[in-house]
Each structure stands twice: as structure tokens, then as C-alpha cells.
Amino acid sequence: MSNPQREKRLLQIAVADSLELLATIRESEQSRLAAEIISSPIHTVVDELNELHDALIARTIELAEIELARLGLGAPPVPYAYLLFGSGGRSEQTLNSDQDSGLVYANPANEEQAEACRSYYEQLAAAIVRSLVTIGYPPCEGNVIASNADWCLSLSEWENKIDRWFAEPTWENVRYLLIAADGRPIFGDLMFATQVKEHFFNDMLSSPVIARRMLDNTLRHKVLLGVFGQLLRERYGDDAGSLDIKYGAYIPMVNAIRLLALRNGIRETSTLRRISALQHAGVLTIGEAENASQAFSFFLRLRLLATVANEDGHTINTGKISRARLTKELVSPLKKALRTGKYYQRKVEREMNGRFGGR
């Protein structure tokens, strides 16, 4: 069905000729969507919000290319793709997501072209990251970002890096592998992102050591529901009485579903699409998939509600549901959803240990 408002918004972004205009559009649209979090279907809000982020980021990349051309650096020397990781890669960004990104470009024909590509794409990535900061996307605190040379590579360099991560399954390398599993192209020649992902899956879970360490990472964040069914709230400080919905509900379920999907060769990156693909693959029953989708959708809504104004009047996402919001009406469905999250943590642990042995 045609949506004139959506089409008008996307057209405004596509023809925007300045970062200031993009920032204004983002602020206006996010205010509109923030007002709909409670009343609208959560899938509608999340889809519109992530469509907004995708369009803003893509136009920012185009403006960065134009900027480099104006500086005399010309056009991209070889085709490339710009990738999002984290919540961006999963199409689960909030109103205030940061930048988790990478860049992959075609293999250069010779060393001279290789140097030209390195120089150009380092400058392009820096311009993109700088521009995205200007319109409201802070850089990734963990430095998983295209302006970091480790995440701005040719196709063969990406493939070699993935091979090294698999060959040396340190905690950090396994973390990078799980980050890469959520990678999604946002702009450019999508073929290169697909090739990186296929190389990843060619090596995926070929080693019991990798499997066990991925499981360790996956289970690092526990669902915040106690053995007696009580919420495990924050106990001290300014956040006392609140619940960490990001790390105590959303992330545990993202991690569990992701590992189940990887274990079964599923290429989807969105958690909800992974759940659907797991059902179609016969890994989940219809009932399990419905429960998982309902619980995760509930977590998505609560995660969007964990947004407050800071001292400057700008909104930030704390990842925590305040004590005041944890009413009796909310606690009952929250506990039900958390029980589902715990179920999937146990399920992935059983499946991984059953296939690869205990840790």
C-alpha cells in the first residue's frame, strides 16, 4: 500500500544537499516516531525507524563521495560496499544508535592500485564517519567503525582476516566473528558484502573450539529473571529499582537466536527474520517461533522506551526501564517474555553442547 508520508520523507532525504538538512530531517522524524512507540504496532515503528536510519546513512555516504570529488580525489577507484554491524546490521536501531560499520572494496589489480585504494577509502571512510557524527550518530565506543583501518579492507583482506579470527579463537576474535555475523550492506555494490558473508559461513563452526567459545560469548549476559521468577533489578545508585532491558533481556535473546541461526547456516541478520528462518528450517516449532517473536518484539518496544532526555535536552538511550515504568501492568508480560528469553539461552546451550561437547 502506498504511503505518501513515507515516500515524501525518503525523497527529502535522497535529494538533501547538506548535512544540516539531514540532521533536521532526522530530528523531526525521530520526534514523530518517538510519539508512536506506545500507540503503534512495534514492527511498524521499528521498520520505519530503521528505514529512516538507512536512508540517512546512504545519503551521507553519497555526500561524502561528492566531498572527496570536490577535494580533487576523484570517484571511487573500484566498487565498494559500506556495511553496518550491531543493531544497524540487524535493522534494530533505536532512536539514538551509534556507528558500527565497515567497508569492503574490490581487490585491486596491482600494488599501485592497492595503494590508491587504501588512500582513497581511508579518506572516504573518515569523511563518512565525520559526517554521520555531524547528523547525530556517535562513533562506536569499541572502534568497530569504517574509519578504523582494521574495518576498511579489500575483499581478499577481509577474507584473510576472517580466516585469522577462526584460526586464533581468542575471546576478542570470537567477539569479532559474532559482530561480523550481523553485518549488512547499506550502500554500494552489495556483491562484496555477500562474498564476505559467504566466506564467513564456509568456515563457520568447523571447530569445536570456535563453537564453545561462541557459546561462552553468547551466554555472557544473563536474562534478568531470578530462580523464583523475580525481576533482578538494579540495586544501587541513581538507577536503583530499574531493569537493564538492553543487557538483561534484549542482548541475551539477540545472542541466543544469532547462534542458533549460525549453527544452522542461516544468513539473515535481523533477529525476527532469524526466528522465522529457524522455523522454516524445522529448528523451531510454530509455537516456539511465535513465543520467541512475541517476546523479542516486546523487548524491542521496551528498548525504545528506555530513552530519556539528558542535561542538554537531547535524548539518550539508557537501555534501562525506570522503576516508575515497571508497573504491575508491565511486570507480568515482562516476566513472561524473560522466561522465553531464558528458554532460548538454555536451548542454544543444549544444542551446542550436544553437537560439540561440554565446555
Q: Which of 204, 220, 245 is the last residue of a domain?
A: 204
Q: What is the pLDDT of residue 113?
A: 96
- The residue assigned the cell 573500484 is 78
Mean pLDDT, the chain, integer = 92
- According to DSSP, the residues that pair with 244 across neighbouring strands are 320
262 and 186 housed in the same domain: no
Q: Which of 162, 177, 204 is the last residue of a domain?
A: 204
87 and 189 housed in the same domain: yes
219 and 177 housed in the same domain: no
Per-residue pLDDT tens digits for 221-263: 999 999 889 999 989 888 889 999 999 999 999 999 999 999 8
Domain count of the chain? 2
Using CA atoms, how far apart are residues 272 and 297, in angstroms rounded to an integer?
8
- For the chain, list residues with pLDDT below 70: 1-2, 205-206, 307-315, 356-359
27 and 169 housed in the same domain: yes
298 and 164 housed in the same domain: no
189 and 144 housed in the same domain: yes
Using CA atoms, how far apart are residues 346 and 344, in angstroms rounded to an integer?
5
Q: What is the pLDDT of residue 83?
A: 97
318 and 287 housed in the same domain: yes
Q: What is the pLDDT of residue 308?
A: 59
Other CB atoms within 10 A of residue 342 CB: 16
- According to DSSP, the residues that pair with 184 across neighbouring strands are 84
Q: What is the pLDDT of residue 44?
A: 93
Domain that holds residue 237: 212-356
283 and 351 housed in the same domain: yes
Per-residue pLDDT tens digits for 173-203: 999 999 999 999 999 999 999 999 999 988 7
For residue 194, the domain's CATH number is: 3.30.460.10
Alpha helices in the chain (DSSP H): 4-15, 19-34, 42-70, 86-89, 111-134, 155-167, 171-181, 190-203, 208-218, 245, 251-263, 271-280, 286-305, 328-356
27 and 59 housed in the same domain: yes
197 and 125 housed in the same domain: yes
Using CA atoms, how far apart are residues 98 and 92, in angstroms rounded to an integer?
12
**CB-CB contact of 154 with 113 (8 Å):** no
DSSP 323: G
148 and 294 housed in the same domain: no
Q: What is the pLDDT of residue 80?
A: 98
174 and 64 housed in the same domain: yes
Q: Please give the C-alpha separations between residue 263 and each of 95, 126, 132, 210, in angstroms, as whole numbers.
A: 31, 35, 34, 11
Q: What is the pLDDT of residue 190?
A: 92
Q: What is the pLDDT of residue 352?
A: 87
For residue 265, the domain's CATH number is: 1.20.120
Q: What is the pLDDT of residue 23?
A: 96
Q: Which of 184, 204, 224 is the last residue of a domain?
A: 204
